[in-house]
Amino acid sequence: MFDEYFQATQAATIAAMAEAEQLNQSDGVDQRGGKKYLEVKHRISVFRRHFGTTMGIETKILDIDEQLVRVQATIRDQASMLVGSGIAEERRGSNNVNKTSALENCETSAIGRALASMGMHGGEYASANELDTAHRNGAAIASVAAVSASPAQATPGTDWAGYLADKTDEIVHFERASQLHGFIQDENEMLQKLRVEQPALADKLVICWTQKSEELSR
């Protein structure tokens, strides 16, 4: 039984690697030196086509503060055996993406490295600073990030720590997904200002929102 499973997994891995390489040639993003890079969203699609639900991708925040974020991504099979791993670090404000969405970008980079460790590198091992939130409730994270990315006027003197505590408590007590989506609409302006003045606190709110979304989707 184990031999059959191993052979099937090995065959799926080889096929996924081949498809990723083929997609890299047709859909890869041009890089310096004439090389190409296949975005993580495409590699996730390849991964799911070949492995379905027999393997899963998990991410974990290792560090997060006002200067940087560090995320680890792991890929495990149904027996919880580790088959792929990647760690990424992003500095806030280091580029346009990281000015507003360093956490999301870092998570995507970590997933890309984990897939690359399985052979689905698609040309280059490094991330292209993509902002692809296809992982887990990607649309949910994107909703918060999109709101935060809009221009906003700073409001000196706002108690953002208190705001975070109040809104976190509010999110924790939500019982329906519709409440989460209503929260984004109701707090639109404040979320924009929070991202401008306190990006680290904004990330914490994103994490809380996403965790609640996952809880309600189970």
**Mean pLDDT along residues 143-169:** 69
Is the backbone of residue 123 left (phi > 0), alpha (psi -120 to 50) or beta? left
| CA separation for the pair 25, 101 (Å, rounded) | 29
Pairing type for strands 29-30 and 55-64 reads unpaired
Q: pLDDT-derived band of residue 149, with 50, 70 and 90 as boundaries? A: very low
The two tokens of residue 70 are: 């560090």
**Continuous H helices in 52-176:** 96-100, 102-117, 138-149, 160-172
| pLDDT computed for residue 216 by the predictor | 72
CA angle 49, 53, 57 (to 5 degrees): 90
For the chain, give every domain's residue range. 1-135, 136-218
Residues sharing a CB contact under 8 Å with residue 144, sequence separation 6 or more, in sequence order: 184, 191, 202, 205, 206, 209, 210
The pLDDT, as a whole number, for residue 70 is 93
- Weakest-pLDDT range from 103-112, 120-129, 174-183: 120-129
Q: Please tell me the distance from the alpha carbon of residue 61 to that of residue 36, in angstroms, as a whole number.
A: 29
Helix (H) or strand (E) holding 90: strand 82-91
Say how many CA atoms lie within 13 Å of 196 toward its Cβ. Answer: 15
pLDDT band at 3; cut points 50, 70, 90: low
11-68 residue pLDDT tens: 888 888 888 888 888 888 776 667 778 889 899 999 999 999 889 999 999 999 888 9
The single-letter code of the amino acid at 103 is L
Distances (CA, A) of 29 to 34, 40, 109: 10, 11, 15
pTM for the whole structure: 0.58
